[in-house]
Chains A and B, each alone.
Chain A
């Protein structure tokens, strides 16, 4: 178990630029989640994949945000035309279907800290 990996750890960009983050879940996990956390707040759900299918998207995920999980393994989260309000920690988590039987937890990565100047 190598854990959930996120890359990069930090990203500084100028307003209007596009950014892309990557998440590598634990290899046998078929579920993948993206969350956003701003200072002083709890993580907010953005989107959920089961294998390669994106099954749920939060209203927080505006048209500027897109997430993919092309082969059901790693995932990318892209933000187009970044705004200062996009500055946050973007967290990825993964789990297997054992979660449904109460036998597992969500495993979180360390996150990507985005700063939009």
Chain B
């Protein structure tokens, strides 16, 4: 079984400031980890994913995340926030084989960016 915890429901940063969105996971099997973004009235868009190999994963729009097995974490960061980053962000975990391939999502974090 897998689960995801995203602490806090809302993060607000100033434009140009560091973005840090936290994600902790629980998985009974080696996980795949994902961050998705959802803009208002739009579908889910994959930002980045960790499957195997390098634990620091770079995604689109300048985002990156680091898989830390010892901390069971997969926090999302971006060095400098842009107004266009305001959206809902979801962390998700899955197993690695067919029977476990479904994604389990966290509750999401709303990111606001102040001018």
Q: Which residues of A contact B (CB under 8 A)?
A: 31, 33, 40-45, 48, 50, 55-56, 91, 93, 95, 97, 99-100, 102, 105-106, 108-111
Contacts and interface: CB of A to CB of B under 8 A. Distances in A.
Contact of B43 (A40, A50, A102, A110): A110
B46 A48 contact: no
A92 B4 CA distance: 20
Contact of A43 (B32, B49, B90): B90
B38 to A, nearest CB: 9
B102 A45 contact: yes
Contacts of B102: 33, 45, 48, 56
Interface of B: 4, 9, 32, 34, 42-44, 46, 49, 51-52, 90, 92, 96-99, 101-108
The 5 closest A-B pairs by CB, nearest first: A102-B51, A42-B105, A110-B43, A108-B44, A42-B108
Nearest to B108: A42
Given A33-B102, A100-B96, 8 more contacts: A40-B108, A42-B90, A43-B90, A43-B103, A44-B105, A48-B101, A55-B99, A105-B46
Contact of A109 (B43, B97, B107): B43
A109 B106 CA distance: 19
